[in-house]
Amino acid sequence: MNFFEAQYQARRQSKRLVLLFVLAVLAIVAAIDLVVVAALLTNKEDAAAGLTLGESISQHANLLLVVSLGVAGVIGLASLFKIGSLRSGGAVVAQSLGGTLVSAETTNPHHRRLRNVVEEIAIASGVPVPEIYVLEQESGINAFAAGYTPSDAAVAVTRGALEKLKRDELQGVIAHEFSHILNGDMRLNIRLMGLLFGVLVIGLIGRKILEGMRHSRDSKGTVPIFLIALAVMIIGYVGVFFGRWIKAGVSRSREFLADASAVQFTRQTEGLAGALKKVGGLPEGSKIDNAEVEEVSHMLFGPGMNFSSMFSTHPPLLDRIHRLDKSFKPEQFTAIAKQWSQPVDVLAMDAELGLDAGLGLVAGTPVTKEPSPLPDARSDIPVQPRQVANQVGAPKQDDFATADTIQNRIPPLLLEAARAQRSADRVIYALLLDGDAAIRQRQLAMIVAHAGAESESETLLMRQAVDALHPMQRMPLAAIAFPALRRHPRPWLEAFVRLIEQLIHADGQQALFEFCLARLISVHVIEALDPARARVIGRRKIVQCEADIAFVFAVLAHHGHDSTVDAQRGFQAGMQLLYGQRVITLPDSSDWHARLVPALQTLDQLDASGKQLLIEALVATISHDGRIAVAEAELLRVACASLHCPLPPMLAR
């Protein structure tokens, strides 16, 4: 299953979940209405009148309508409240479980290794680096990803996972969590939390009424109320019973997909299988000792608590292991427990294998193996449109090797600055400084007015390091800075975005790289201010967006080719993939700075199949001769990011 199929399945399951929730609410409303009718039939007036069930319902129709609307309203408002409380993104979920943010200045080697792995997989996947949390109080092996979109995602890992998993096993677990980020599971998981909470509230209301009646002195007068409250509590918890059953069914299917995607990412099964075997072999397993664990159980890498098979949010552990290692036998759990129950230095084991990147006190410690070379910045890269489209949300082992090279060749000064909230903005400023001395001075004056006098010297120092970067390292460096930028309050971020626009237009024009960087900041930083509104997959069709598609293709064609004739050929190559042999006039794209973003926002509303075809056609447009320059590849990657379709750093050849 590729990225687009996974997104489509997530949307279908989300619709199915909403339908089941609506049916559950209707069933709860009907059940409570029947309880009210039964209570009315027992009162003296209705009993004396000898009313039948139908007559009683008819006579008290207004009361039943009020009860029905009240019950539905309580469930709906409670669900919206819960979902609304998570609008700030995945960090809220991580903090609710006691997660501690991994600091940019941390000297903890386990934390540094975790951050190195997360950043590497983010770069390989083409998504912004998420916030990273550690559940320090949890000795079990577990992890989760939470959020609405990749822009506001947070990844949390237990202390037990850090201390018990070797680097390849930790990489397998993190790759599993990234698949949830890429496959659209996070938004589905937050909806599950909200909908189940709404149903649970009915049971809680009934229980609270019963608890309040303990001190009542009028035992005769309160009997009907007692019976109604008891019935409401029972109905509410029966609803929770079925809600958990629905949640378990949805979650189990997504867990198998996440395991398969993790193997596809890392191109090896040993890491993920090793982590699962330790979950099964160690006494702590994947247990999470937190009162909130049931609520987030469907998000976790492994079951955070014991469930019956009906309510288990994860497939049987042996089934997951056997899909990765068919030769594994349950008796082997004993040997795993014997070896790993005692303290083991996994960092030393990594070092012996040359997998100790990121563990030194200086960021970016290189691995001992020879890194994969990056293409010459002036060269053209051969690409295949269909293969590039298949790369979306599906990094391969080569992408991890490229990401490792990109990450570990970024100077330590820039890495440390990008990770820190105090200095991440300086990294972005350094990327935008102009080569002309007069324009640069105007830009520095703007920066000082916004960030203070010390920002000038810091930005200039970082600019010296930026000048030595390979073009393929610039966008990933910005992505590493995004989590630190997002920690600033909204007013600061809004002022920051205005400053970025001023820096870009200080010379009266907008270069291609400047547009790309500004667009990435808008998509991955500003979007995180209200992530619930973002939509990864929409409902529009290709035929509804012809004008916007033509304009985007025209911009790409002009930037991807030196001559008007070649631009025309590239434009037609892309349009013909979508609209057949029909001749479409190449639009005027001279005002692309103002019109490109609105056009991309419209195309972001395409459905999954439409986006897949669009990306294939985008590649055909910018490389109708089968080749693409490094700078043009960055434009393509940013266009895909605007469509919420992340591309790995190295395009398929």
The secondary structure of the chain in percent helix, strand, coil, rounded to multiples of 5, reads 65, 5, 30
- Give the three-class secondary structure for 156: strand
Q: Phi-psi bin for 631: left (phi > 0), alpha (psi -120 to 50), beta? A: alpha
Which residues are registered as beta bridge partners of 131?
Answer: 154
Contact 647, 637 (CB under 8 A): yes
Q: In what order do the strands lie in the sheet with 143-146?
A: 100-101, 131-135, 154-158, 143-146
Could you tell me the two tokens for 564? 């008007």
Could you tell me the two tokens for 210? 């019963």
Could you tell me the two tokens for 606? 């395409």
Residue with tokens 């509230």: 201
Please tell me what DSSP assigns to residue 525.
Answer: I
Could you tell me the two tokens for 305? 């608590």
Which of 579, 508, 507, 580 lies closest to 549 in space, CA to CA?
Answer: 579
Contact 559, 635 (CB under 8 A): yes
What is the identity of the amino acid at 276? L
Residue 159, classified by CB atoms within 10 Å of its CB into exposed (0-12), middle (13-18) or buried (19+), is: middle
Helices and strands (H and E) in the chain: how many: 29, 6
* Active-site option among 177, 284, 514, 632: 177
The DSSP annotation for 315-374 comes to --HHHHHHHH-TT--TTHHHHHHHHHSS---HHHHHHHTT--TT-SSSTTPPPSSPPPPP
The two beta strands, 143-146 and 380-382, are unpaired
Contact 434, 440 (CB under 8 A): yes
Q: Within its chain, how far is the Cα of 380 from the centroid?
A: 32
The two beta strands, 154-158 and 380-382, are unpaired
Q: 28 to each of 21, 83, 236, how far by Cα in Å?
A: 10, 21, 7
Residue with tokens 């019976």: 227
Which of 651, 195, 154, 173 lies closest to 379 in space, CA to CA?
Answer: 651
Residue with tokens 């190449």: 586
Could you tell me the two tokens for 511? 């270069």
Q: Backbone phi, then psi, for 285, in 5-degree steps?
A: 55, -130
Contact 439, 499 (CB under 8 A): no
Contact 331, 379 (CB under 8 A): no
Q: Within its chain, how far is the Cα of 576 from the centroid?
A: 34
**Cβ count near 524 (within 10 Å):** 23
Whether 177 sits among the annotated catalytic residues: the reply is: yes
Which residues are registered as beta bridge partners of 100?
Answer: 134
Q: Backbone phi, then psi, for 583, in 5-degree steps?
A: -80, 125
Cα–Cα dist 5/251, whole Å: 17
Contact 4, 611 (CB under 8 A): yes
User: What positions carry a catalytic annotation?
Assistant: 177
